[in-house]
Amino acid sequence: MFSFEYADWKMICSQIGLQKRGRKRMYLQWYPFTCLSAKEKEKLISETFFNDYIKSGLFLYYSENWLITNNYIMKGDGNFRNASLVSPIMYLVALTIGKSISKAYQSERQPSIGVFYAGNYDENRLYYKKDYDVFFKTINDLSQSYKYFIKTDIKDFFPNIDMNKLFDIINLRFTETGVQINQKDLLVYKELLLCLGQGEFPLIENCAASSFLATVVYLEIPDTKLYSFITDKESHITGFTMVRYVDDLYILFNSDLSENMITPMVNRIVNTYSSELKKLNLSLNRGKTSWKLAVDINEELKKSLYDEQFNGKECNITDLVDSDLLLEFLGDIKESLFNYSLDAVKYLELINKVFNISQTEYTPQEIYNSLVYEKHPLFSSKQIIEMLFSLVCFDYNFLKLDTKRLTIMLLKTQNGDLIKTMLSKLFEANRKGVWNIYDTSLAINYLLQRNFNHVDLLRILKHEELPVYLYYEMFCKSSFLVSMDKSKQKYISEFGASFFYKQDDKLFFLYFMYMVEMKKSNYLSAFAYYKNFFDRLSAHLAHAVNGNQAKGKPNYKRYYKEGAFKQLYAGITDVDKIIKKAHEIRNSNPLSHSSAGLLDNNNTAADILSSIEQLGNLIESKIAEYQTQGS
């Protein structure tokens, strides 16, 4: 069903496996990969697993792999991103789709436009860090050759990406460059990504596919149009270059105009860019779009501190921050909290004030990040523990300003009383019925750092946020490959081993489209796809049951009439009634039959869903019967 290559799947699985264990534990989307044994990693990366489960589409038949829910990732302003949390297998498939498209996509951007995103498929990198650092260094190097720069920002970028426009761009570019791609593949890629994004462009934690598609593909036309405009229309620009990191575009330039005459020219450039973005349903964030002297460009950039050289030596956070500075920060938080004036804006102000170290090129946010995430003894200080204790006891809600970093900060103290106090506040919120998504985020970040080792907190998570709990239960409690082996749908593995004619690349396409329509609550189209899937799968069953597996492919043309199904499933309770009802729905479904009688009767969604469930039970019963007879 899927036409991408094994080499791409192998690369994706290998690169995820190579990520540091500590890094994988920081992200809920990556945590399941810490649960794989060495043998399971070999299985996942093997060509046999790829062919039997991924390429064939058999993995789609497991309901576990369709778990898609919200991921609670906070932004700097205290709001949450519209991010999805998806099953590990779907995550790997999404990354492989991105790799497949990236290999075929030939960019038409002018060579002098630098483009960076969170990863790099050409270099087989799936984590943002290296490419953000290269972007930063590129900007810094170029700033030596130009006097001015324009920094632009797109408002609500990811939520406003139009998936239809995105795949129109891909399709057109493939056509222009002679790339042959099946329209079924493009449809599957688009619909799968839409599913993972819960009806929108998918924003998934550490997903290079999303970043690549949004950056390299979706923003290509605005970039090329803007570059041509500046080249052809702005004669007072004597030299320029463009560098993009996802939705942030920097235009560095020289001009023969005096500085007091630059603004009108910048306005023309920005308006042209804005006009091109409008064609893609995007708009500029004018408040974050400006021009400055190139010597000030560091103020606009955020530099990663990790693994970087500082004044010729490895930069160590303890060279930049000591316990006095951390105490100052916590003291400022305490003062604002106790004066009832601490909010998201004030919190960011305090970070920028306290961690603004003039002797370094690093921003306050990056110094604060390193303080929280790197290993050092600062948090074991008695004064710091006492300060955190007073903050949590006074009002634990201050943790909700920055759920990930502040939770990690508390845990780094390794002080049992402090941690118990924080947990008691969460339990109290649950008892009082005032639990909110910020409490969910605090709980998730605590559990991640503790390997989900807290029964009572997991019980609350199950009550407050069941889909996230199910993600833990299926993918974090043990290996997700074990979850597939122990699936409630055990008949699926038996089908794959004994019945599935693997040369059939249409069977699971039909099931995939059924699931896509179910996710959209389009029950008429969902039933149409499921009934076709049932018909085709029945031909597979008959092919095996009748001992015809050595005689070619299943006879798909035989399995569409009621009699053939009643004969195949004979002996199963209510088979005649189930088949009759399913055919009544199909023959009156406007998506399957011109009579369109279903539009005139009172069939409800419940009737349609019941019929789908009953057909599924027939499949399961037939496979179980075959197993019993075989044993």
List pLDDT tens digits, range 202-220.
999 999 999 999 999 999 9
pLDDT of residue 591: 83
Of residues 484 and 68, which shows the higher confidence score? Answer: 68
pLDDT of residue 549: 57
- Return mean pLDDT, the chain: 91
Residue 625 CB-half CA count within 13 A: 16
**Maximum Cα interatomic distance, the chain, rounded to a whole number of Å:** 90
pLDDT of residue 375: 73
Q: Residue 402: what residue type?
A: D
Which whole number is the average pLDDT over 132-142?
91
3-state secondary structure 318-366: HHHCCHHHHHHHHHHHHHHHHCCCCCHHHHHHHHHHHCCCCCCCCCHHH
Of residues 11 and 559, which shows the higher confidence score? Answer: 11
State how far the Cα of 409 lies from the Cα of 417, in Å rounded to an integer: 14
State how far the Cα of 409 lies from the Cα of 44, in Å rounded to an integer: 35
- Pick from 311-325, 408-422, 526-540: least confident: 311-325
Q: Give the tokens for residue 531.
A: 């009934």
State how far the Cα of 173 lies from the Cα of 104, in Å rounded to an integer: 10
State how far the Cα of 276 lies from the Cα of 439, in Å rounded to an integer: 41
List pLDDT tens digits, range 393-421.
999 999 999 999 999 999 999 999 999 99
Q: Answer for the pair 344, 176: CB distance below 8 angstroms, yes or no.
A: no
Q: Is residue 311 predicted with pLDDT exceeding 50? A: no
pLDDT of residue 87: 98
Q: 429 vs 113, 199, 457, CA distance in Å?
A: 51, 32, 12
- Geometric angle at alpha carbon 365, from 28 and 307, rounded to 5°: 75
State how far the Cα of 287 lies from the Cα of 77, in Å rounded to an integer: 15
Q: How confident is the model at residue 491 (pLDDT cuts 50, 70, 90)?
A: confident
309-310 and 68-71: which strand pairing? unpaired
pLDDT of residue 357: 82
**Which candidate, 253, 229, 224, places its Cα nearest to that of 241?**
253
Q: Give the ranges where 433-574 is alpha helix by DSSP (H).
A: 437-449, 455-464, 466-471, 480-485, 490-498, 507-519, 523-545, 562-568
Q: Is residue 299 predicted with pLDDT exceeding 80? A: no
Q: Is residue 325 predicted with pLDDT exceeding 70? A: yes
List pLDDT tens digits, range 44-53.
999 999 999 9
Three-state secondary-structure class, residue 271: helix
Q: Residue 547: what residue type?
A: G
Q: Answer for the pair 242, 250: CB distance below 8 angstroms, yes or no.
A: yes
Beta bridge partners of 115: 244
Q: 85 vs 27, 202, 299, CA distance in Å?
A: 10, 10, 33
pLDDT of residue 493: 83
- Pick from 242-256, 267-281, 343-357: least confident: 343-357
Domains annotated for the chain, with CATH where assigned, are 108-174+194-301 (3.30.70), 312-450 (no CATH), 490-630 (1.20.120)
- Geometric angle at alpha carbon 251, from 248 and 253, rounded to 5°: 165
290-293 and 83-86: which strand pairing? unpaired
**Which candidate, 187, 203, 18, 220, places its Cα nearest to that of 102?**
220
Of residues 307 and 315, which shows the higher confidence score? Answer: 315
Beta bridge partners of 68: 86
Give residue for tokens 């060579």: 111
List pLDDT tens digits, range 586-629.
988 888 777 777 776 766 788 999 999 999 999 999 998 887 77
pLDDT of residue 501: 84
Which whole number is the average pLDDT over 19-33?
95
Q: Give the tokens for residue 512.
A: 């995939």
Q: How confident is the model at residue 172 (pLDDT cuts 50, 70, 90)?
A: very high
**Which candidate, 434, 423, 421, places its Cα nearest to that of 458?**
423
Which whole number is the average pLDDT over 91-119?
97
pLDDT of residue 319: 67
**Which candidate, 215, 308, 233, places its Cα nearest to that of 269?**
233
pLDDT of residue 310: 34
pLDDT of residue 378: 87
- CB atoms near residue 339 (< 10 Å): 8
State how far the Cα of 74 lies from the Cα of 77, in Å rounded to an integer: 8
List pLDDT tens digits, range 557-596.
888 889 999 999 999 999 999 999 999 999 888 887 777 7
pLDDT of residue 621: 93
State how far the Cα of 314 lies from the Cα of 310, in Å rounded to an integer: 6
Q: Give the tokens for residue 503.
A: 């040369």
Q: Is residue 376 predicted with pLDDT exceeding 80? A: no
State how far the Cα of 234 lies from the Cα of 528, in Å rounded to an integer: 56
State how far the Cα of 336 lies from the Cα of 345, in Å rounded to an integer: 12
Q: Is residue 347 predicted with pLDDT exceeding 80? A: yes
pLDDT of residue 279: 98
State how far the Cα of 6 lies from the Cα of 73, in Å rounded to an integer: 32
Q: 425 vs 204, 391, 394, 498, CA distance in Å?
A: 30, 12, 11, 53
Which whole number is the average pLDDT over 306-327?
59
Q: Give the tokens for residue 1.
A: 């069903």
List pLDDT tens digits, range 88-98.
999 999 999 99
Q: How confident is the model at residue 307 (pLDDT cuts 50, 70, 90)?
A: very low
List pLDDT tens digits, range 157-166.
999 999 999 9
